[in-house]
Amino acid sequence: MLQTALSTAPTTLLFAPCGNKLSPILFPKRRRSLTLLPRWHFNRTRPRPKPKPKPFSAVAATENGVFTSPEMAKSFDFTSEERIYNWWESQGYFRPNFDRGSVPFVISMPPPNVTGSLHMGHAMFVTLEDIMVRYHRMKGRPTLWLPGTDHAGIATQLVVERMLASEGIKRADLSRDEFTKHVWEWKEKYGGTITNQIRRLGASCDWTREHFTLDEQLSRAVIEAFVRLHEKGLIYQGSYMVNWSPSLQTAVSDLEVEYSEESGTLYYIKYRVAGGSRSDYLTIATTRPETLFGDVAIAVHPKDDRYSKYVGMMAIVPMTYGRHIPIISDRHVDKDFGTGVLKISPGHDHNDYLLARKLGLPILNIMNKDGTLNKVAGLYCGLDRFEARKKLWAELEETGLAVKQEAHTLRVPRSQRGGEIIEPLVSKQWFVTMEPLAEKALRAVERGELTIIPERFEKIYNHWLSNIKDWCISRQLWWGHRIPVWYIVGKDCEEEYIVARSADEALEKARAKYGNDVEIYQDPDVLDTWFSSALWPFSTLGWPDVSEEDFRRFYPTTMLETGHDILFFWVARMVMMGIEFTGTIPFSYVYLHGLIRDSQGRKMSKTLGNVIDPIDTIKDFGTDALRFTLALGTPGQDLNLSIERLTANKAFTNKLWNAGNFLLQNLPTRNDASAWKNILAYKFDSEESLIGIPLPERWVVSKLHLLIDMTTASYDKFFFGDVGRETYDFFWGDFADWYIEASKARLYNSRGHSDSSVAQAVLLYIFENILKLLHPFMPFVTEELWQALPQRKEALMVSHWPQTSLPRHANSIKKFENFQALTRAIRNARAEYSVEPGKRISASIVASEEVIQYISEEKEVLALLSRLDAQNVHFTNSPPGDAEQSVHLVAGEGLEAYLPLADMIDISAEVERLSRRLSKMQTEYDRLKARLSSPKFVEKAPEDVVHGVQEKAAEAEEKIILTKNRLALLKSSVLFTK
């Protein structure tokens, strides 16, 4: 254990007695050799075998050179965070420990994309989840925070394709196996970046259980889930409208489509009425004229009198050699948009698709998978969709069918991964029937089996599940879980296919049905990445092997924490799949955090140049300051992050460090057995133990016990912002600004007496409990300080959480608040009269006998905090004889003070100074009144200018009155002394 050879000389003050600022500290430097642990060897791509957990033991960490004492450094060194983290992990602290409890607390980490690097959204979820895990670990629960990464099908394939393109290689030039080999090589080389950065945030995950969604175990779970759903008739194949990525040539999920407001054009086109005159036509406004080749009808509103005569007739689609489509009426047409005429292109618009299915209209596809037009577009066949748009419009103008163009703001669907414009397209895909799964997930919330925090998101959850659509789970990629479906060579693939758990099983089934000569081939598509993610809480614990020890011990999990923006796409799907495959909900709570925005509330983006990088932030401010800042938000609400907040919380880290320095400087040396016996004799867990200690100690211990109860309740309710603010206020306001300063009266004036040991005992008791309360938020600096304290037998992160329901004295809190009010009043008077900081003044304290009794007992503390001359502080129940020549202060009901003016200032000099000041103020006041007396100014000047002058005049008049009153008091004092 660290040798705490502590200085006992009261030569250096850590805290300025009257202020909130830390005063400079100069301590002698001591040399010490540090043996560093290996730096951040984190490149793990596959889970290692699970070692048998060893019991947490008392480790003299400081003797291994892992930690640095505040005696050795003036501030906390952020580079030591790496050593501390490696030490925690080497001791096995991140793994579940059943020695102190049996009911585990389990969180499955939302798996970040293997292609990713850390951003503030990751920093937010890591911070909040680590807070939960560290808190419950200290509460004695076996904790498992299970980490991992997602294979991120589209994102990863896109990254590797771009990498290969830079080398002159196209994916089309490679076989599937060759390409996936390149992806695995990339993953092994770069896939650990995000997990290394998550470690840098202090995440106390059990890395021995780390998973990847393409692990053998998780792949087995994915295939099993597909097979079971298909066997129940919940998976089917069909051609339906999907979001299509032309460059990747795959369907993409709704989550991977981002809509942006962009400047575009509204094109007005004439559709002639078949059989009518040249004046019989309908003008249609569209943002995508190239889709007219896929038009199957024109619709108008039934009550739109402009077009009622054409309903039931046929219109001619421009540039299609006279193709006719019906003109129909439908109440869903918006009469006020464009011309009130809607072209229905169900093969290329989600709304048109639904309308066509309702009305029984045909579906016409005009586009190839690469975004070029197909033969349905006639002469435009082979043109890119945007090239076709330009050419079509030019030719419409030539034929007189183009009416006009208008600027129009479009809501453009873009791929989240590649940035290209997504095309609505009808495509043959695999789907999951969601309605029967959604019903069970809805009931879980209705019955209270699943709690969503904050509660308002329950409505969004219920709305989405109540209006759920079938889920397109197939993707036309090479990277991902291959769909476990095999087709028969020579047979219709829509009618004849085999679902199996392996190729061998598929071949066996095929031979049984079609004979030994049958040939089969596997579906080329892969499953949506979200399909494997939906199984994450239980696939990572061993499912479908329900006898697996981790599954039996840790499932269902406790908490799912993530951003509110993926409530439907991930959270709800996990709930549905968990109930379907395990018979129970996969977690009891869902905690949804908000988005991180800049100081102005704007979304962070490279375009705006307002992105704050977490790793850079850690280098500048430390991990603890970043975590503390992020944790002060409110569940479900966006958080505005600013450099000012980070700077303030870095100062908080330094304040903790300096408090630890003060404490160590004022504790006995380790080998002073007698002194330590006196300190350790103090207990604070009973009413009797509090009665026997002085008022400041009773007050601060009582306040601490209240804080422990409040913060523990807030932790249990997941109100982390309240925990941070309450603990911050207590440490900075009550402990640092008041009790540490008050303790100096005992530490510096009562050496060797019981007053000294009680202050030392209370300082140590308060500080170690503050470290415990703050550890989940600020793990590094609190562990470093904890290890520097004497008598530490275990790591802070596995220490016991403070006991709740400890005694507190409400009466003592009230008494000390009176004491504080008196001190503040005296400090304010000193500041008002510009009394030199080092000057000691006299005071008469006037109060009832009861109040005098408890305040007079702490005369030394009052003198120290208020800079009074302790020999000339008098306590009385009536005003002193020199009250007329004193500053009279009312600190509270029945508590007053009189400060002799002669003690505070040079009265004659002050009279002269105030007289000069009064003359200047009177001159300025007269000038202002003269302006206001001028009718020319009042009538002609702007109203706000006149109002401003009136305010200045009123303020000047008030200052003159105050200055005159002070002069009168000073002059009377001068006369009295003469």
Q: Model confidence over 149-200: pLDDT tens digits?
A: 999 998 899 899 999 999 999 988 999 999 999 999 999 998 889 999 999 9
Q: Is residue 610 one of the residues assigned to a domain?
A: no
Write out the residue range of the structural domain in which residue 490 sits: 485-522
Q: Is residue 624 one of the residues assigned to a domain?
A: no
Tokens of 189: 């080389």
In a shared domain, residues 866 and 891 = yes
Tokens of 90: 């080497």
In a shared domain, residues 285 and 365 = yes
User: Can you give the pLDDT at residue 345?
Assistant: 95
In a shared domain, residues 714 and 788 = yes
In a shared domain, residues 773 and 838 = no
User: Helix H segments across 322-384?
Assistant: 350-359
Q: What is the CATH number of the domain that holds 289?
A: 3.90.740.10
Q: What is the CATH number of the domain that holds 730?
A: 1.10.730.20
Q: Is residue 958 one of the residues assigned to a domain?
A: yes
- Rounded Cα–Cα distance for residues 659 and 664 (Å): 9
CA 98, chain centre distance (Å): 30
Q: What is the CATH number of the domain that holds 924?
A: 1.10.287
In a shared domain, residues 263 and 390 = yes
Average pLDDT, the chain: 88
- Pick the last residue of a domain from 399, 425, 451: 425
Angle 734-18-749 (CA atoms, 0-180°, nearest 5)? 85
User: Can you give the pLDDT at residue 610?
Assistant: 78
In a shared domain, residues 755 and 800 = yes
User: Can you give the pLDDT at residue 912?
Assistant: 76
> Distance of CA 390 to CAs 288, 290, 387, 535, 561, Å?
10, 9, 5, 46, 48
In a shared domain, residues 666 and 802 = yes
Q: Is residue 665 one of the residues assigned to a domain?
A: yes
In a shared domain, residues 514 and 653 = no
Query: Are 70 and 664 spatial neighbours (Cβ–Cβ below 8 Å)?
Result: yes
b or e along 125-136 (b: 16 or more beta carbons within 10 Å of the residue's beta carbon)?
bbbbbbbbbbbb
In a shared domain, residues 789 and 829 = no
User: Can you give the pLDDT at residue 597?
Assistant: 85
Closest CA relative to residue 369, chosen from 485, 245, 500, 252? 245
User: Helix H segments across 270-340?
Assistant: none
> Distance of CA 578 to CAs 224, 233, 306, 438, Å?
13, 18, 55, 12
Grouping H, G, I as helix, E, B as strand and the rest as coil, residue 317 is: coil
User: Can you give the pLDDT at residue 750?
Assistant: 53
User: Can you give the pLDDT at residue 569?
Assistant: 81
Q: Is residue 170 one of the residues assigned to a domain?
A: no
Q: Which residues have a Cβ under 8 Å from the Cβ of 283 and sit 6 or more positions away?
A: 268, 269, 270, 271, 339, 341, 403
In a shared domain, residues 803 and 915 = no
- Pick the last residue of a domain from 494, 522, 550: 522
In a shared domain, residues 901 and 912 = no
User: Can you give the pLDDT at residue 492?
Assistant: 78
- Rounded Cα–Cα distance for residues 360 and 344 (Å): 12
- Rounded Cα–Cα distance for residues 54 and 376 (Å): 70
Grouping H, G, I as helix, E, B as strand and the rest as coil, residue 612 is: coil
Ranges of the chain with pLDDT below 70? 1-64, 605-607, 750-754, 906, 973-978
- DSSP-derived secondary structure for 248-285: TTEEE-GGGEEEEEEEEEEEEEEEEBTTS-TT-EEEEE
Phi, psi of 589 (to 5 degrees): -130, 145
Grouping H, G, I as helix, E, B as strand and the rest as coil, residue 129 is: helix
Closest CA relative to residue 478, chosen from 157, 62, 916, 163? 157
- Pick the last residue of a domain from 754, 777, 808: 808
User: Can you give the pLDDT at residue 606?
Assistant: 62
In a shared domain, residues 273 and 372 = yes
User: Can you give the pLDDT at residue 978?
Assistant: 41
Q: Is residue 566 one of the residues assigned to a domain?
A: no
User: Can you give the pLDDT at residue 430?
Assistant: 95
DSSP helix, strand, coil percent of the chain (3-state; round to 5): 45, 15, 35
Q: Is residue 389 one of the residues assigned to a domain?
A: yes
Q: Is residue 790 one of the residues assigned to a domain?
A: yes
User: Can you give the pLDDT at residue 64?
Assistant: 56
The domain tally of the chain equals 5
